[in-house]
Amino acid sequence: MITPVIAIHGGAGAMARAAMSPEKEQEYLDALRRIVAAGQQVLADGGSALDAVTEAVRLLEDCPLFNAGHGAVFTSAATHELDAAIMDGATLRSGAIANVSNVRNPVLAARKVMENSKHVFFVGAGAENYAAEQGLEIVDPSYFSTEARREQLLRVQRENPDAAVLDHDGQALVARGQPAPADPLDSDKKFGTVGAVALDAQGNLAAATSTGGITNKQVGRVGDAPLIGAGTYANNRTCAVSTTGTGEMFIRMVSAYDISALMEYTGASLEQAADRVVMEKLPTIEGKGGLVAVDAQGNVALPFNTEGMYRGFGRVGQQPEVAIYR
């Protein structure tokens, strides 16, 4: 008997312990627990792995605590550019969108691309038009904005106008008399992708990933999240993977697919393959971040090489397990 399972992440990065109150930590843990439980319920009701990861990522997009959908970070032009991808491990079908600014739930658009289009990847205005044609909710770009993210952009531009990810951490900010970030992970050094992977009762795997990018990024930049094989991958023969981190490095390493390839071609276990990619291979090119993965037997891996990663998983019939720090 297969016990269905779902795992989620909400970003990885450096610690800002001076910024964290017990109340703020609890807020994040409660959100993670609620979203894992929602994915578990989909699976418990007989839903597919695709349905479970879609629902989990949709909820992560709607939660302003995370950098996807409502609460997405700003580009250098003070705009939003959202990316998402989804993949079905049973068929290897996949769909992705990038650089959209008015689609309320990018993961839903990615799924429409997968299910209703002969193509895999739409970008920009073409992706927005396709989402509208498919009947998805279109919103004013201001929907994605929060005051905390706007302050974050201004802080980054004030400190280093050319930086997409700052080098200092929350403690350094406090030491200079500036307010600490309101995020348990330093928002300026956090890689704010969200994602989910799942195994359903039929033995099928799925993965989905969504992101608002990185603060102060150059307009038009696309990271690993919507790229099949880099930030998102699922194959029933091996595993499902969703990553979060320095997107350019995950692209160069084709990290999500690499875990599957290590399992298929070398016989490595999910844990061995995930640890090798995150702890050994990515650091050789200064790749930082982590991932969530599940294999065809229901084993779960949640490795990260940063100081923390918002993460959680839950098997049907069990309580969700969630964490931020090591």
> Residue ranges for the binding site for substrate?
221-224, 244-247
Helices (H), strands (E): how many in the chain? Answer: 9, 12
Residue spans of alpha helices (H) in 22-141: 22-44, 49-62, 106-116, 124-133
Q: Which pLDDT score, from 0 to 100, does residue 207 have?
A: 99
Contacts of 175 (CB under 8 A, 6+ apart): none
User: How remote is the C-alpha of 274 from its chain's centroid?
Assistant: 16
Distance CA 280, CA 291 (A): 14
Q: Round the average pLDDT of the chain to a whole number and report it.
A: 90
Q: Which of 73 and 202 is assigned the larger pLDDT?
A: 202
- Gap between the Cα atoms of 7 and 177, Å rounded: 38
What is the tens place of the pLDDT at every residue in 35-65?
999 999 999 999 999 999 999 999 999 999 9
Q: Could you list the active site residues?
A: 193
Cα angle 166-195-87, degrees, rounded to a multiple of 5: 130
Q: Yes or no: say if 15 and 169 are a contact pair by the CB < 8 Å rule.
A: yes
**What topology does CATH give the domain 5-144+184-325?**
Glutamine Phosphoribosylpyrophosphate, subunit 1, domain 1 (3.60.20)
Q: What is the pLDDT of residue 300?
A: 98
Bind-site residues:
221-224, 244-247
Q: pLDDT digit string (tens) for 148-179? A: 787 877 787 777 666 554 222 333 344 445 55
Q: How far apart are CA 73 and CA 146, in angstroms?
A: 9
Domain segments of the chain as ranges: 5-144+184-325
DSSP 214: -
Q: Which helix (H) or strand (E) holds 248?
A: helix 247-253
CB atoms within 10 A of CB 285: 12
Structure confidence by residue, pLDDT tens digits, 198-218? 999 999 999 999 998 887 888
Residue 231 main-chain phi, psi, to 5 deg: -110, -15
Cα 22 to the chain's mean position, in Å? 24
Task: Provide the whole-model pTM.
Answer: 0.91
CB atoms within 10 A of CB 163: 16
What are the pLDDT digits (tens) for 10-37?
A: 999 875 656 668 898 899 999 999 999 9
Phi, psi of 101 (to 5 degrees): -130, 5
